[in-house]
Amino acid sequence: MAAPVRTVLARPAAQHGRPAGKRGGNPVTYARTGSISVDQFIAAAPEKVWRALTDPELHAKWWVPGDVGPDVGPDVGHEFHLEMPGFGSIPCRVVESEPPVKLVYTFNDNWTLAWTLVAEGQGTRLLLNHSGFDLDDKRQADACERMGPGWRDGVLPRLAKLDLG
């Protein structure tokens, strides 16, 4: 019989059939609480990375189109939508914002995306925490398992390659 999802996700990556530690240069961590944590170094100042997170034109180049809005400031409550292929328009709401250090917003009611920007040398270490997965729900547990590599190997590397001038 298969192990419960919470048990499997709590194991080190090597027990999932892939080497523990780094793959593609950046670790991806799955927590027992149903969250994904990924970090990515970006060779740009935090202010420029913040702009990539909030400017709709730039946002569409590295992730998906959406009206995130360059006016996202310290005030919470800003509502916007992300256009997710195959899923349509996903409602989001800013719940925490500290430019250019932290941006947190709800994503599709159940999930929260927390972006933390840390100055590192001549660039920025971008920390992403995607939380709110219900690991007792098979569809959400599967989504959690699939999205970690998607963030690590697809979305965040595209952001890192973006010319932020």
65 domain residue, yes or no? yes
Q: What is the CATH number of the domain that holds 106?
A: 3.30.530.20
Residues 6+ apart with CB under 8 A from 161: none
94 domain residue, yes or no? yes
92 domain residue, yes or no? yes
9 has a pLDDT exceeding 60: no
pLDDT band for position 17 (cuts 50, 70, 90): very low
Query: What is the pLDDT, as a whole number, of residue 108?
Result: 82
Query: What is the pLDDT, as a whole number, of residue 88?
Result: 85
6 domain residue, yes or no? no
Query: What is the pLDDT, as a whole number, of residue 60?
Result: 87
pTM for this prediction: 0.77
72 domain residue, yes or no? yes
What is the mean pLDDT of the segment spanning 141-147? Answer: 91
pLDDT band for position 86 (cuts 50, 70, 90): confident
84 domain residue, yes or no? yes
Query: What is the pLDDT, as a whole number, of residue 57?
Result: 87
Range of the domain at 94: 44-127+150-165
80 has a pLDDT exceeding 80: yes
Q: b/e string for 79-118 if b means 16 or more Cβ within 10 A?
A: ebebeeeeeeebebebeebebbeebbbbbeeebbbbbbbe
pLDDT band for position 6 (cuts 50, 70, 90): very low
Check residue 165 and report its DSSP letter: -
- The token pair at 14 is 């090597």
Task: Report the domain count for the chain.
Answer: 1
103 domain residue, yes or no? yes
